[in-house]
């Protein structure tokens, strides 16, 4: 095996070409080991020289939540967008009530921790309903991520 550290762009391109030649090798073989070592070296070089901004990564938990909601939405085909919109306003109201309890603006016998937990529950219910509406309207994960990033950037310009 003729593998060397990746210290330059030239070394990096060489490693990519080498990896391409052994990429589909079976694990446990000489070529498989070569592919594994090259992958580690390439990833290390890329992390140091081509860092990805965390805000641009799609987190696997987002994919998981989106897929869960999409699968659940298939079970409620009879529910219209209008019905989902009305239910969403109800959920947002319940979330607002829990937030008012946390701030002390609305009386509750709950402890602050219980009120926070209930706010989490209402937040998740609201989020699921919003995802359900987006899924029913046919939006893809990519569309949601791109629009979210756009809106957050817009929001940040107003904050500054």
Position of tokens 């629009």? 147
C-beta separation of 15 from 42 below 8 A: yes
Q: CA-CA distance, 110 to 118, in Å (whole number)?
A: 10
Q: What local confidence, expressed as pLDDT, does residue 113 receive?
A: 87
Q: What local confidence, expressed as pLDDT, does residue 10 receive?
A: 92
Q: CA-CA distance, 89 to 97, in Å (whole number)?
A: 12
Q: CA-CA distance, 151 to 158, in Å (whole number)?
A: 11
- CATH no., domain 60-159: 1.10.287
- Within a 10 A sphere around the Cβ of 4, how many other Cβ atoms? 9
Q: Is the pTM of this model over 0.85?
A: no
Q: Would you write out the chain's pLDDT as a tens digit for each of its 160 residues? A: 678 899 998 998 898 888 888 877 787 888 888 888 988 898 888 888 877 655 545 566 777 888 888 888 877 778 888 888 898 999 899 889 888 988 888 888 888 888 889 889 999 889 888 988 998 898 888 888 888 888 888 887 777 5
Q: What local confidence, expressed as pLDDT, does residue 4 receive?
A: 87
Q: What local confidence, expressed as pLDDT, does residue 7 receive?
A: 92
Q: Locate the domains of the chain by residue range.
A: 9-51, 60-159
Question: For residue 133, with 0-12 CB atoms within 10 Å meaning exposed, 13-18 middle and 19 or more buried, which class applies?
Answer: middle
In order of 19, 49, 85, the CA distances from 6 in angstroms are 13, 11, 54
Q: What local confidence, expressed as pLDDT, does residue 52 receive?
A: 61
C-beta separation of 12 from 42 below 8 A: yes
Closest CA to 12 of 40, 35, 46, 51: 46
Q: CA-CA distance, 18 to 110, in Å (whole number)?
A: 62
């Amino acid at each position: 095996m003729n593998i060397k550290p990746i210290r330059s762009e030239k070394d990096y391109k060489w490693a990519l070409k080498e990896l391409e030649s052994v990429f589909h090798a079976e694990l446990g073989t000489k070529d498989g080991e070569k592919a594994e070592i090259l992958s580690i070296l390439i990833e290390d070089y890329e992390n140091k020289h081509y860092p990805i901004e965390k805000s641009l990564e799609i987190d696997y938990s987002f994919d998981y939540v989106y897929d869960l909601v999409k699968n659940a939405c298939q079970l409620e085909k009879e529910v219209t967008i209008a019905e989902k919109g009305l239910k969403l306003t109800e959920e947002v109201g319940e979330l607002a009530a829990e937030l008012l309890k946390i701030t002390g603006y609305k009386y509750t016998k709950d402890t602050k921790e219980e009120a926070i937990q209930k706010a989490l529950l209402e937040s998740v219910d609201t989020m699921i309903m919003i995802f359900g509406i987006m899924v029913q309207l046919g939006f893809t994960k990519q569309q949601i991520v791109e629009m979210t990033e756009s809106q957050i950037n817009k929001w940040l310009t107003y904050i500054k």
